Structure formats: C-alpha cells, structure tokens
Amino acid sequence: MRSRTFRKTKETAMKKNILVLGTGGTIAGAAASSTNTLSYQAGVISIEQILQEIPSLQDLANVRGRQVAQVDSSDMTHDIWLTLVREINVALAQADVDGVVVTHGTDTLEETAYFLNLTVHSRKPVVLVGAMRPATAMSTDGPMNLYDAVVLAASDEALNRGVLVSLNDTINSSREVTKTSTSLQDTFKSPELGYLGYILGGQPYFYRYPARRHTADSLFEVDSLKELPQTEIIYSYVGAGRGIIDAVVASGAKGIVYAGLGNGGIPAPIQKALADARAKGVVIVRSSRASSGIVTRNGALDDDAFGFVAADNLNPQKARVLLMLALTQSNDPSLIQDFFRTY
Ligand code: SIN
C-alpha cells in the first residue's frame, strides 16, 4: 500500500485502482479506552495503518494510501486544501487511477468536500469520508464508512456526480450535505433535498444527480494559486452591532458572508455597515442562519440597490467557499450572483 503507483499483475488488473488520501480526523483518532468516544485525539493514526486494518478493502479494489495531512479538521487550512486539490487533480489525470477517497474529520468535512466539488477537474469519483467514533472505540463507525467509500469510489455509478460524502450508509452531494448533530453517528444530512442514495451490502443505490455545475464543468482553477482571498462569515443576532463588520473590513477581507435572519434579513445598523463595506469594494453575500431554504435575490432586501449577492440555498460555510473561489475570478457582484445561481 506504500508504493507511489499501482502494481499491475494478472490479479490486480481486473480491479479498479483507488487512492485514499488521509487528512486526519476522528476516523484516525485514538482514545485511552475503547469506551471513550468523547475525549480522544483526532488525527493520530496513519492512513497506511487504517488501510492495513481493513484487509477486505483489497477485495473491492487495488487500494493505496497517502498521507496528505494529519489534523483535527478544526485545524484544516486553505494550504491543505490547495495541496489536496493538486494531489487529486494529478492523480485523477492518470489512466491508472479510477477514483479517490479522502479521509477527513467530520467537523469541516462539508466545506472541504464543496471546495473540491468546485476545483477538482475530473468526472471520476471523489468521495469524502469520516467517522464519529475514534478508531479505538468499541463499535467504531470508521472501517465500515471507509469500506463503503471505497465501494463508491470504485463504482461506475458514481461517475460524474460531483464530489460525494459518504457516512452511515448514505451518499450525499457535497453541495447539499451538512453536519447536523454534534455527536450522533447519523449526523450528515442533506436537508430538504435529501440523499443521493445509499450504500448497502457493498453496493451503491443512486436515485438522482446533482443539478448544479461541478468538477469537470467548473471554471474554478486553483492548482497554481498560492493563497485564497480572505473571506469571513458574520452571524446575525438580536442587538448585533457594526463593530465586528468594521473590524473584518479593516483586517483586509475581500468578501463577507452575512448569516442573516430568515430569508437573509439584516438588522438596520448592520445594513449600513455592510453598505459601507461594499462602498470599499468588499463583496457582500447574504446567507441565512436558518438551517434550510433559499435566500432569494431582492427578497428580504433590495440586493440591486445595495450591490449585494444572495446565497441561494448554500449555508453560510458553503457560501463562503463559493465566494472565495468567485473572488479568484472577479469582484463584480452581478457576475458573482451568476456563480451562486450556477454552482
Ligand atoms: C474532526 O473534525 O477532526 C474531529 C471530529 C470528527 O472527525 O468527528
């Protein structure tokens, strides 16, 4: 499992070649006892060791691992994202790599998945997977989740469905999925729009394709970038003041996602602060702190008059990913609004 290329023998030639990139998380986590599922260290077990402990993976495909990072996903960075997407694009351009699985902490998994959905340029399967229980726990969910992710990455049915997220027997679109529970295994859901399918008995069952543009059809190209534009999220609440917005603008932010109220509503003093930020060239995207639904353009606010962008149905953390990538292309709010309608 350590070699850089897939070895070709009569036996391996019949199977798909799947590269598993390790980035850490609870799936690579260890606790002092098998009953401890809350206090443990994430990102300590190597991807090679994880793969060696699931020999049945090699029945599914020729599986090879590579460690890209070893972090708790709360420490995921833009630098790791840029490394990861380059590794994936290089790997999937090779004829002898059929799919990629990324092991990842669950806390920011949805953001990494959506980032890759917009920046990987391939129709081959890319699947993100994690676990809610550390690898040392009794009934850990990691090995079965990883087994299912390899099933998916090796499946022709997963081609051209964008970057997928698979945990707990379900298949989700990276654009739609979100972590909904702090601690339950059944935490990843795609609110309102639902799962793309299920994995049961070592077989994927798909029911639909994502409708928004992704991967091979995405225009976002980050392979040669050294950094991504500074973009921040600010959350709404009763009595919110403008100080935090002014501080974010002063820190050099190029874009702000405002997690507004209901249909992206913004309290009056904040509207003024965001309008001032816009006048300084900062791109403002209205998202919502409500957990589902669309923020409609010119709905709760006159976006045309303010020069703001409506986030469609992206949650604030995914709206920030798209805004950051949009800012690599343009800072024109009307063009960025088109991106939010398209991706
Ligand atoms: C993390 O996100 O790295 C820790 C939590 C998890 O993986 O479930």
Give span(s): CATH 3.40.50.40, the chain: 231-342
CB-ligand 1 contact for 132 (6 Å cutoff): yes
pLDDT on residue 323: 99
pTM higher than the cut 0.75: yes
CB-ligand 1 contact for 69 (6 Å cutoff): no
Percentage of the residues of the chain whose pLDDT score is greater than 90: 96
Pocket test for ligand 1, best of 40, 44, 72, 110 (most atoms within 8 A of CB): 72
The whole-chain average pLDDT of the chain stands at 96
pLDDT on residue 124: 98
Residue 2 pLDDT > 70: no
Active site residue 26: yes
DSSP 137: S
CATH assignment, 231-342: 3.40.50.40
- The number of the ligand 1 atom at minimal distance from the alpha carbon of 75 is 3
What average pLDDT does range 211-217 have in this prediction? 98
The C-alpha atoms of residue 14 and residue 20 are separated, in whole angstroms, by 19
Summarised one tens digit per residue, pLDDT across range 228-255 is: 999 999 999 999 999 999 999 999 999 9
Residue 225 pLDDT > 90: yes
Count of CB atoms within 10 A of residue 36's CB?
15
CATH assignment, 17-217: 3.40.50.1170
Closest CA to 23 of 183, 168, 153, 131: 131
Q: Which residues are CB-contacts of 167 (< 8 A; sequence separation ≥ 6)?
A: 106, 129, 130, 131, 132, 141, 145, 185, 187, 188
Structure tokens at 26: 């609870």
According to DSSP, the β-strands at 170-173 and 164-167 are antiparallel
Residue 1 pLDDT > 60: no
Pocket test for ligand 1, best of 44, 74, 111 (most atoms within 8 A of CB): 74
- Please tell me which residue in 23, 26, 178, 231 is annotated as part of the active site: 26
pLDDT on residue 4: 59
Distance 26 CA to ligand 1 centre (A): 5
Give span(s): CATH 3.40.50.1170, the chain: 17-217
pLDDT on residue 10: 67
What average pLDDT does range 203-226 have in this prediction? 97
Residue 324 pLDDT > 60: yes
Contact status, residue 170 vs residue 64, Cβ threshold 8 Å: no
Summarised one tens digit per residue, pLDDT across range 142-195 is: 999 999 999 999 999 999 999 999 999 999 999 999 999 999 999 999 999 999
Summarised one tens digit per residue, pLDDT across range 255-268 is: 999 999 999 999 99
What average pLDDT does range 128-137 have in this prediction? 98
Confidence of residue 50 (pLDDT cuts 50, 70, 90): very high
